[in-house]
Each structure stands twice: as C-alpha cells, then as structure tokens.
Structure 1
Amino acid sequence: MMDQETNTELADTIELDGNGPIYRQIERAVRAEIMSGRWPAGHRIPSEHTLLEKFSTTRATVSKALSKLTEAGLLERRRKQGTRVAQTTESHAVIGYLDIRQDIEAKGRTYAYRVVGSSVIIAGADTSVWPEVEAGTPLLRLHAVHSGFGKPEVLEERLISLQAAPDAVDADFETETPNIWLLARLPCTRLRHTIRAEIATAAQAAQLGVAANAPLLVSLRQTWADAMPVTWVKLIYPADRNEFVGEFNPLQP
C-alpha cells in the first residue's frame, strides 16, 4: 500500500496551470504525468484526499477530473485499491519524449526556455517539411532556445497545428514548454522520430557557440492525436557535447 509520505511526494511533482476550471487543470496535470511517461502503466497515482488537499479543492472536483481520465482510458479506478495508470491506454499510447530540461539540469546547470520567434502561417509550399498536414491548415511556427546557465544548448524549430490545438496561439510557452503543454491536452497516439547529422549554418553556429560547419545532431519528431497531426519539431544539438541513448530489454514486457 502506498504510504502517506510517498503519496504526498508524488502529488508534489504536479502543478496546475491556472487556466479554466480546477477539475480541467487537475485533468491536464495528471494527463501530462502519464503522457510524458513519468507515471508508467500500473503506477498508483496520489489519492483523491491527497490531491484535494494539495489543490485546496473538493473531493467532487478531484473525482470529476479522474473520472474524465478514466473515461479516456488513461486510468483504472478500483474500489479499495486506489487509482492506477491503465495497463493499456487503447488508442492513447504513451510515448516517451526527449526531456531536454532534465538533461540540462542533470549536468548541474540552470535550465531556461526562451521563444525567440513566433508567427501564425498557413500550411502550403513553405511547410514541405511537414507533408502530413493538409494545405490551408493554420500553423503556429515557433523558434526557441533551450539554455543551461544562459548558454544555448539546443535550438528548437516547431510547427503546431492550430486545427488540433487552437489555444496554442495564446499559450505562454516560456512558462510551460510546448512539449508539456501539448501532452497535457492531447493524447500522443503516434510518433515518428528521425535522428540525422547536419552541418551548422552560420546562424546556427552563432547561436550555439560552435564553429561554422561544425557537426550537429538533429532530432526530427512528428506526433499525431489519433489521425490528426499535432506537431512537427526539429531539435538541433552540437554533436561534440551530446548523444542519444536508447535501451531495449526483450526480457521485460
């Protein structure tokens, strides 16, 4: 059985975004923990009592939020056994993501995320990098920098479909990064991830503090919610101080 200290520690990791009804905020916060993989299948989530105390709300409000997630297939609620992350999320697949903040903070550096460019465009010939999105779809285009101790570590180029996430145009992504914001609102049911090498352009070299034509590691990711394209993102890393590591154990389910 989960002890009170562990229960409270788990609750301490989630925060509300302050937007809209409290039950919706709790729903988004819990969904983000699940979709990010921080709360894996079978994980027992904090009790209703712990959540209502943390967020100074009522049991009915917490219950409504958890019921919505249960209906979505993300949680399993069993009498006297607590609430756990569903072993299967049906069409709501939980897919891990690159946690840049965690990587930077693991090196002992203070993390910061800064949006350096933002505009709304219409999908067409100039968005050929994302052919899966229909022509005419409104897109939010972002350019951002992930930094450690004020030093740029990763450059981000991102497109978000405003058909899938219309509220993204008004989001404060310097408070909550696009990854976390999207995972809290939409299921990630499909992901395509490509890693390739590129040579730094003059602009990229200047931003990252590397030599012109220095080697870069580039992560290209596209996500869908069911059949709807949600986001396309290009993450650009200096090759000499980064690596991607994956682990697979065929003996584990």
Structure 2
Amino acid sequence: MKPPARSSFRAIKDEIARRIGERVWKPGSLIPGEEALAAEFGAARATVNRALQELARAGLIERKRKVGTRVALHPVREARFAIPIVAQEIVALGAAYEYRLLARQAREASEADAARLGVAPGKIVLHLQCLHFADGRPYQFEDRLINPAAAPKALEEGFEHQGPNEWLVAAAPFSRAEFTFLAALPAEEEARFLGVETHEPVFIGERRTWLLASPITAVRMVHPQSHRLTTVM
C-alpha cells in the first residue's frame, strides 16, 4: 500500500527502514532511485538524498554511483561516540563535580611521548595530569599530551580551573578521532590518585584526535572498576 505523501526526511528514512526491516525490500535488492522516491513521498530529491545518506551511514543500504542503491546484505550499525565533558557527565549522574590540576609541564617529547602522540621526538608537547571527583570521590584520573603545533594557545592556558578536555572541545576542533577501551591493572601513580589497590582492575579509556594529518591530543582516562560506559546505536 502506498504511504501518504511526506516531506520530512525523517519520515522518509523511517519508512524506508521499515520496508527493509519487514523484507519488503530484501537484502541485496535494488531500491527505487531518488527521483522515484521523491515522487512517491511528495518530497524534493534533496530531502530523499538526506534520508538515504543517513541510512547509508547506519549501514542499512549501500550506494554506488551509476549502479544505484541496494539493501545491505550484512547491515552494520554505526556506533557514534560523543566526546564527553567529564564535568557534565558527573553532574548528569546527580553528583557534585570537583576538578584538580595535578601537574602541568611543557617539555621536549620523549620517545614514549612521540610514540603516544604521533609527533617527532624533541618536539614540544604539553603534559597534563588531572583528577576529577564526583561527590568528593575520585572519578577519573586524566593523563594527557597536547601538541602545541596543532593547539598553540594551550601553552598560554594554565588549566588550574578548567579541565583540558573541556578547553580542547571549544578551542581545537578535530577531523578524526580514535577510541580504545580496556580493563587493566593501574600503574602505581594511577592507583594512588584513584584510591584503589594496584591489584584491582580499572576501566581505561584512551583517545587520540587529529586535525587532518596533525595530531592534537592523546589522553588516557582511568576510572575505578565501578565505572560504566553506555552508548546508543
């Protein structure tokens, strides 16, 4: 049955997703082109194109020039991670937030710094260590390297009152990011600041960001084992 005309790209996207989910359009089959869909839904081709782009990003369809659009044989959902601002994360839990800068040092990159951040040894890097609290309890130990070549104003920032992540989100836009999550035993320093034992596993998040080919930052965020990470797909 032909659905009523719609102009919202969300409504078009939802209807196409319904047809795929209910096997009206089977895996691997071609679906109607943009012009036909625009006529069916009473929408502009640009609106249909936007709906199809979102479905392609979600992994439900595959689009190829001069070939057309097919239902994906093996749909892969795309998980998106928003870079969290830890202060907002803690407040959202209903807890009081507190921030403490533990160390700040501009120095020449060691071999370990160079490998971690992706810069040449000897380049100036900014090394920061911070502790974030929720209701007075250690929530996250943050160990971060910043590349001043990509974020030069970082060398002018003291970070005594604002965490580097919050500052970077506003001051240093990135074009690419890499996330890693793992459980491991903490280093002695990490255990001491978090108030845990070195034999207690902790939850670790590592992230690197780039602006085109230039690395911006590499951060290691260590949480007590009670930490939970939730994402929506």
**Structure 1 residue 144: deviation in Å?**
0.5
Q: 2:173 aligns with which of 175, 187, 208?
A: 187
TM-score (norm 2): 0.61
Give the Cα–Cα distance (whole angstroms) in 2 for the partners of residues 221 and 189 of structure 1.
13
Looking at structure 2, the residues matched to 205 and 110 of structure 1 have their Cα atoms a distance apart, in angstroms, of 22
Could you tell me which runs of 5 or more consecutive residues in structure 2 were left unpaired when the two chains were aligned. 1-52, 54-79
Aligned to 1:244: 229
Residue matched to 2:101: 115
Tell me what 2:59 maps to: none
Q: Is the 8 A contact 2:109 2:123 kept in 1?
A: yes
In 1, are the aligned partners of 2:130 and 2:141 still within 8 Å (CA)?
yes
Normalised by the length of structure 1, the TM-score is: 0.56
1:221, distance to aligned residue in structure 2 (A): 0.2
Q: Which amino acid is the alignment partner of residue 127 of structure 1?
A: D
The alignment-based identity, stated in percent, is 31
Q: How far apart are residue 184 of structure 1 and its match?
A: 1.7
2:108 aligned with 1:137: no
- Tell me whether 1:154 sits opposite 2:140 in the alignment: yes
Contact 2:114 2:120 (8 Å CA) reproduced: no
Contact 1:120–1:139 at 8 Å: present in 2 too?
Answer: yes
Match of 2:221 in 1: 235
Q: What is residue 85 of structure 2 aligned with on the other side?
A: 99
Q: How does 1:53-68 map to 2 (within 5 A)?
A: none
**Displacement of 1:188 after TM fit?**
1.2
> Match for residue 37 of structure 1?
none
Q: For 1:68-87, what aligned pairs fall within 5 Å after superposition?
A: none
| Structure 1 residue 129 displacement after superposition | 4.5
Q: What is the rounded CA distance, in whole Å, between the counterparts of 1:131 and 1:141 in structure 2?
A: 11
Separation in 2, partners of 1:202, 1:187: 33
The count of aligned residue pairs is: 156
Q: Quote the Cα distance in structure 1 between the aligned partners of 2:146 and 2:117.
A: 13
Taking the aligned partners of 2:114 and 2:124, their CA distance within structure 1 comes to: 14
Shift of the 165–217 alpha-carbon distance from structure 1 to 2, 3 Å rule, reads: same
Rounded Cα–Cα distance in structure 1 between residues aligned with 2:216 and 2:193:
27
Distance across 1 between alignment mates of 2:161 and 2:192: 26
Aligned match for 2:159, one of 161, 173, 178: 173
Residue among 169, 188, 191 paired with 1:205: 191
Preserved contact between residue 130 and residue 163 of structure 2 (Cα < 8 Å)? no
Instruction: Supply the AA of the counterpart residue of 1:140.
Output: L
Amino acid at match of 1:170: E
In 2, the alpha carbon distance for the partners of 1:179 and 1:202 equals: 24
Quote the Cα distance in structure 2 between the aligned partners of 1:210 and 1:228.
Answer: 36
8 Å Cα contact 1:202-1:213 kept in structure 2 = no
Superposition deviation, residue 128 in structure 1: 4.8
Distance 2:115 2:144 in 1: 11
Q: Which whole-Å CA distance do the structure 1 matches of 2:95 and 2:202 have between them?
A: 21
For residue 221 of structure 1, the aligned residue among 207, 210, 215 is: 207
Q: 1:99 to 1:208 in 2, by over 3 A?
A: same
Distance 2:173 2:143 in 1: 21
For 2:224 and 2:114, locate their aligned partners in 1 and report how far apart those are by CA, in whole Å: 25
Structure 1 counterpart SS, 2:105: strand
Deviation at 1:193, TM superposition (A): 0.4
**Over 6 Å off, 4+ runs:** none
Which runs of structure 2 are paired with 1:9-88 in the superposition (5 Å)?
none
